[in-house]
Amino acid sequence: MSAAGALSSAFQEVVILERDVLPASIMSRAGVPQDRHPHLLLAGGLQALDSLFPGFAQDLAAAGAVPVNVFKDVQYERPDVGALPRRDCGTSLLCGSRPLIEHTLRRKVTAIANVKVQSQSRVTEIVPAATRPMVKFENDAGVGAAIEADLVVDASGRGAPTLGLFDALGWERPQETAVGVDISYTTAVLRPGRTSFDWLNLVTLPDPATSATAGLIIPLEGGRWFTSISHHGATNRPGTWEDYLAAARQLKTPAIYNAVYKLLPPGGLRHFVFDASRWRHFERLKRLPRGILPVADSLCRFNPVYGQGMTVAAREAKLLREILDRVAGEADPIEALQAGFMSEVGALLQAPWNMGVNADFAYPTTRGQRPERYEESRQFEAALFRAVVADPVVQRAFSDVVQLVEPFDLINSPDIRQRIEAHSLAQNA
Ligand SMILES: Cc1cc2nc3c(=O)[nH]c(=O)nc-3n(C[C@H](O)[C@H](O)[C@H](O)COP(=O)(O)OP(=O)(O)OC[C@H]3O[C@@H](n4cnc5c(N)ncnc54)[C@H](O)[C@@H]3O)c2cc1C
């Protein structure tokens, strides 16, 4: 949807083909099974959506999303340094369910006169063409239709239409970097109980050397709370609320257990298993099939525990908009758009990818190729967190980087580097 909004100013008509029946109200749907689990929209994503769709943040807040100041309202518990200081780092989130975020965005997108959402339209194939690719789709009754388009954006999550097109053309599929994490999520929606908390987000991380279980509580609209327990590389998962409480008791601190047992027990638990983060390196190819652009999860799927996917998708849409402005005068603006996007998207993906993958490889069960100079980066991370605790300037920089508001280079800027080193020296003195 964010890509459709970004493209709408430059194309006569934008059609979103969606296989689901889209609900008129705020509710889960089959095509996005992950929507029953917490979906944190990072500050960088909120800013990107608000710039693409002016008034988006205001609408999301008006629809019931809960404002959360980072880190004033966030209890973020790490195994190495304990809870991070509750300082105001200058950014705010709006916490709500994924259906709420999607509903608010869909209203913005469908208000654009030349964007049309066509539901119950499952894409079956992209037919290659020298000039304009054709997208074939069918409804639930199997009745087929096709649209020819100047540009086909594959935002299907798994990228199957684009990969199918590569196969049909006899092209080699792009190289892929995969990091196996086998994250198992167990989520409950809780209602207010006997107490209130002095935080709005609570995160408890494990020491990966001894445990693979993390916990989270975030608010959602309607005065409810999401709580999730995630296991890295684990096969067992809590099957009942009693099991869930037992797992919460095993976390590094009792904070989540102490909070959830005071809330009203859930109607049921929801589960999700995420096998691997996957970056398909379309950006390394010399060219893409004419008029085809894979975006968001189709291009790169992040480990969901870091809450990056929607934010990256929104930032990619913003990048598309910027490139569109630049290529308007080109002889072949479609090819220039494809090439321009692919030449810049790698830099956009690299920082969130590195942050997630570096954290994942601390768990012995993680599969795949460790990043180069991994031990060095772990040591740097340890020094960074000591400095985050001691120094408000470093904490703000960390906050901006992890929220994907600022590029990772901010952490490497001379001032921040110097501060991190100063705290390391003080620690070792
Ligand atoms: C458990 C879990 C928790 C997550 N938590 C977070 C979080 O906290 N923060 C965050 O930012 N991200 C989170 N994510 C990631 C986030 O869900 C995705 O990164 C994001 O939704 C990607 O958007 P997308 O458009 O690529 O795919 P999706 O949002 O999955 O959308 C794909 C759409 O394409 C439709 N579709 C698929 N195939 C076809 C077809 N053939 N024809 C027509 N329509 C089709 C689907 O119905 C769906 O509507 C989480 C993911 C999981 C699994």
Greater model confidence, 266 or 324: 324
- Residue from 15, 17, 18 whose mutation best tests the ligand 1 pocket (most atoms within 8 A of CB): 18
Tell me the pLDDT tens digit for each residue of 156-176.
999 999 999 999 999 999 999
Span 182-196, average pLDDT: 89
Q: Cα(48) to centroid of ligand 1, in Å?
A: 17
| Ligand 1 close to Cβ of residue 37 (< 6 A) | yes
Tokens 């087929």 correspond to what residue? 144
Is residue 161 a contact partner of residue 126, using CB atoms and an 8 Å limit? Answer: yes
Cα(62)–Cα(77) distance, integer angstroms: 30
Cα separation of 403 and 91, whole Å?
9
**What residue type is 295 in one-letter code?**
V
Nearest CA residue ID for atom 18, ligand 1: 309
* Domains and their CATH numbers in the chain: 2-174+278-360 (3.50.50.60), 178-275 (3.30.70.2450), 374-428 (no CATH)
Q: Which of ligand 1's atoms lies nearest the C-alpha of 185?
A: 1
298-341 tens-digit pLDDT? 999 999 999 999 999 999 999 999 999 999 899 999 999 999 99
Compute the distance between CA of residue 34 and CA of residue 302 in angstroms, rounded to an integer: 13
**Confidence category of residue 426, pLDDT binned at 50, 70, 90:** confident
Closest ligand 1 atom, residue 39 Cα: 8
Q: CA 181, 313, 93: angle at the middle one, nearest 5? A: 90
For position 427, what pLDDT does the model report? 74
The sheet that has 213-220: what strands, in order across it? Answer: 82-83, 74-78, 201-204, 213-220, 224-232, 176-190, 270-280, 300-301
Between the CA of 156 and the centroid of ligand 1 the distance, in Å, is 8
Q: Any long-range contacts for 237-243 (C-beta under 8 Å, 24+ apart)? A: 237/184, 237/186, 237/271, 238/186, 238/269, 239/269, 240/269, 241/188, 241/265, 241/266, 241/269
pLDDT at 10: 95
Q: Is 429 a residue whose pLDDT tops 80? A: no
Whole-number Å distance, alpha carbon 34 to ligand 1 midpoint, is 7
- Dihedral of CA atoms 72, 66, 79, 277 in degrees, nearest 10, equals -130
Query: What gap in Å lies between CA 68 and CA 221, rounded to an integer?
Result: 13
Plot region of 170 (φ>0 → left; ψ -120 to 50 → alpha; else → beta) = left
- H helical segments located in 8-116: 43-52, 56-62, 98-110
Per-residue pLDDT reduced to its tens digit, 196-227: 899 999 999 999 999 999 999 999 999 999 99
Rounded CA gap, 407 and 207, in Å? 27
Mean pLDDT for the stretch of residues 58-72: 98
Torsion sign, CA atoms 33, 30, 222, 193 = negative
Return the axis-axis angle of helices 333-360 and 309-327, rounded to nearest 10°: 150
Q: Helix 392-402 and helix 374-390: axis angle, to 10°? A: 130
Report the C-alpha gap between 138 and 128 in whole angstroms: 18
Closest CA to 235 of 367, 365, 359: 365
Q: Is the CB of 187 under 6 A from ligand 1?
A: no
- Answer positive or negative: Cα dihedral of 100, 105, 111, 116: negative
88 neighbors 44 (Cβ within 8 angstroms): no
pLDDT tens for each residue of 346-381: 999 999 999 999 999 999 999 999 999 999 999 999
Cα 59 to chain centroid distance, Å, stands at 20
